[in-house]
Structures are given as C-alpha cells and as structure tokens.
Amino acid sequence: MRLLHRSCLAALCLAGLAAAGNALAQNYPAKPVRMIVPFPPGGSNDILGRTLALKLAEALKQPVIVENRGGAGGSIGAEVAAKSPADGYTILIGHVGTLAVNAGLYPKLGYDPVRSFAPITLIANVPNVLVVHPSVPANTAAELVAYARANPGKLYYSSGGNGSAAHVTMEYFKLQTQADIVHVPYKGTGPSVTDLIAGQVSMTITGIPPVISHIRAGKLRALGVSSLQRVDALPQTPTISESGVKGFDAVQWYGIVAPTGTPREIVMKLNVDIRGIMQSPEMRERLNTEGAIATTSTPEEFAAHIRSEIARWGAVIKRAGIQAD
C-alpha cells in the first residue's frame, strides 16, 4: 500500500509539473526577453543577434532586448546565460566559439557547452573571409602563404581576442600552410578590423558581415573564403581551398540556446518562431547580401552538431597547441 501510495504521489507530482509547464508555455512570453550576445558590438554575433531580435520581438509580441556581455572569447556572456533562470526569458546567441572551441581552450569554463544549455535551433552559417590590408603584396591565398614563408614573422594578423573564432581559424590556417604569421589579439572584432583598415596589422580571417562593406569599398582585399563553396555575396572571391590550401574548411555557425531546464514547451515555441523567421525570403535575402547563410534545425540536430564540433575543434586546438592566454 505504501508503494502504491508513493507511486500515486509521484504520478500526481509529474502531472502537476507537466500542467505547470503547459500553463507557463501558454502564457509565454508575458514580459521582455533578454538575448545575450557574448561579444562586443560590431562582430557577426552582434549583427546576427540584433537582426534576429527585431523579428523575434514581432513574433513574440514582446521586446527582445540585446545585451552585449563580451570577454574571454565569449565565455563570460555564455556563463551569465547558463546561470540565468531557466524560464525562457534569457536566451543566448551561441556560436562555434562559445559552444565548441571554448571547450578545448579553457580548462575551467564557468559553463558546460553541452550540459548547461537547452539547444533551440541553428540560425546561420557564416563563412570566414581571409582579408589583407592593400599594402600586403598578395592577391591570392597562395601568394600570401609564399610571402609569409619567405618573410617569417613579418606579417601580423588581428583577431577579436585570444581564443576567438578568428584566432583559432587563423592558427588552423597556419597549421595547414606552415606560414609564420604573428597574432595580435583585440577586444572584439570591431577594433581588430579598424586597426587592419588603418594598416596597424596585415590581415585577419573573420566572418564576412563585419568586413564586406570594407571589401566593396576597396579598403581591404579579400583573398579567399573559408567554406568549400564560393559565397554569393563575394562571387569573385575564390575559396581558400581552391586557392591552394586544399580541403580548408572553417565556417562559423550560430544558434540560439537557453539555460538547461527551460520547459520543453517554451523551447519548441522559440524553435518554431525562430525557424519561421530564418526561413522567410526576407531574412534569407538580407543575410545573403551580408555573406551569411540562414540555417535552421531541430533542437536535437543542433545538440548533435554542438557535440561533433567540440570534438573537431578540440583536435585542432591540441594539434596546433593553441592557448587562450
């Protein structure tokens, strides 16, 4: 009888929790939603986050407030999101750095990319583009590699900081080409690009959105994109792979996650709303002109993608001996 009584109580508790979750989802959202962007303004995270936030606010009929929390390769903002209440009112725009690369870089992360978050959906793939200051005597990736090998330590590349996607991607490029290029970390993509335009550094490799206007204006020279296919926004720019670094593939990806424990009903509502936004012709065209590719997934597909990318970039970091500090 005691066992039966306990079983009945457990069933009632589960039913109560399910009912509470359904009620919460039906009333969601009843107040503004916070979207944490774990990088300073000006980079691909910020551009994509703000673009999505405007449309998501329309779908949710509540403001979506973008909050930039930069630092430590995005890990500070990601930790803030991970430790926020799991009620659907805090979401994070995560990407290959915060959800994959950081796992191999930082031995004491304040969050676990797999266990701390409930994946919602991928939102975009953003190929990187290798760009140089016009003073650099190279018009192709192959010419850049030849020049770097002939002049070891003479070229300097900027990144958004130690452990950033640009840092890891360029170290991967150096690993593949045996080119000697010196790293100069900045506090964000914005300032790293500003100094590149000013000629303070020689080059960078970063997501297309922050630099495409400068490429079109002739302030930077694009040598190659990091995807295996050319990008519509830069049709004349070859891939790095076809430019001599065979098989080079390093695409940044972005997705939305919430703190683990967020009710499944809310996760699925956000998944449906965000996928609808990203799959709309208007959003696809807008991202395409900026060099980004709208991409969506189920929560389960996104979770599997995160795990596979942790393994992939962890191996690169180990081989290249990359350190965050």
Please name every residue paired with 127 in a beta bridge, in sequence order, or none if there are none.
251
Q: Is the pLDDT of residue 18 over 80?
A: no
Q: CB-based contacts of 106: which residues, under 8 Å, 6+ apart?
A: 72, 73, 75, 163, 324
Q: How many other CB atoms sit within 10 Å of the CB of residue 215?
A: 18
Taking only the tens place, the pLDDT of each residue in 107-133 is 889 999 999 999 999 999 999 999 999
Calpha distance 149→141 (Å, rounded): 12
pLDDT value, residue 23: 57
**29 preceded by a cis bond (ω within 30 of 0):** yes
User: In this predicted model, what pLDDT tens digit does every residue of 146-191 receive, in sequence order?
Assistant: 999 999 999 999 998 887 888 999 999 999 999 999 999 998 888 9
Comparing CA positions, the residue from 187, 169, 171 lying closest to residue 179 is: 171
Q: Position 321: which residue type? A: G
Taking the C-alpha atoms of residue 157 and residue 147, their distance in angstroms, rounded to an integer, is: 14
26: three-class secondary structure by DSSP: helix
Interior CA angle at 69 toward 168 and 30, to 5°? 125
Judged by DSSP in three states, 86 sits in coil
- Asked if 256 and 91 count as a contact pair (C-beta separation under 8 A), the reply is yes
- From residue 220, how far is each of 124, 127, 144 by CA, in Å? 24, 17, 14
Which residues share a beta bridge with 121?
A: 256
Name which of 186, 229, 177 is nearest 204 in CA terms: 186
* pLDDT band, residue 14 (cuts 50/70/90): very low
CA distance 193 to 35: 25
| pLDDT at res. 44 | 80
Q: How far apart are the first and last CA of the chain?
A: 61
Q: How far apart are CA 148 and CA 179, in angstroms?
A: 6
pLDDT for residue 314? 93
Q: What angle, 0 to 180 degrees and rounded to 10, lies between the N-to-C axes of helices 44-60 and 281-289?
A: 170
Q: Per the structure block, which two tokens stand in for 15?
A: 């039913």
Rg, Å, the chain Cα set: 21
Give the containing element (helix H, strand E) for 173.
Answer: helix 165-177
3-state secondary structure of 117: strand
pLDDT at 5: 53
Question: What is the spatial distance between Cα 36 and Cα 117, in angstroms, rounded to a whole number?
Answer: 13
Predicted local confidence at residue 71, as pLDDT: 84
Q: Which pLDDT does position 263 carry in this prediction?
A: 98
Q: Residue 88 has which token pair?
A: 């659907």
3-state secondary structure of 89: coil
What are the structure tokens assigned to 137, written together?
């005597």
Domains of the chain, each with CATH number or no CATH: 32-125+252-320 (3.40.190.150), 127-225 (3.40.190.10)
Query: pLDDT at residue 86 above 50?
Result: yes
pLDDT digits (tens, 9 = 90+) for 22-47: 555 679 999 999 999 998 887 788 88
Category of 163 on φ-ψ map: left (φ > 0), alpha (ψ -120 to 50) or beta: left
Take residue 95 and report the two structure tokens written for it: 């990407």
Share of the chain above pLDDT 90, in %: 75
Determine the Cα–Cα distance for residues 117 and 94; give it in Å rounded to an integer: 10
Confidence grade of residue 3 (pLDDT, cut at 50, 70, 90)? very low
- Is beta strand 33-37 parallel, antiparallel or unpaired with respect to 90-95? parallel
Q: What integer best gives the mean pLDDT of the chain?
A: 91
- CA dist 159 and 196 (Å) reads 10
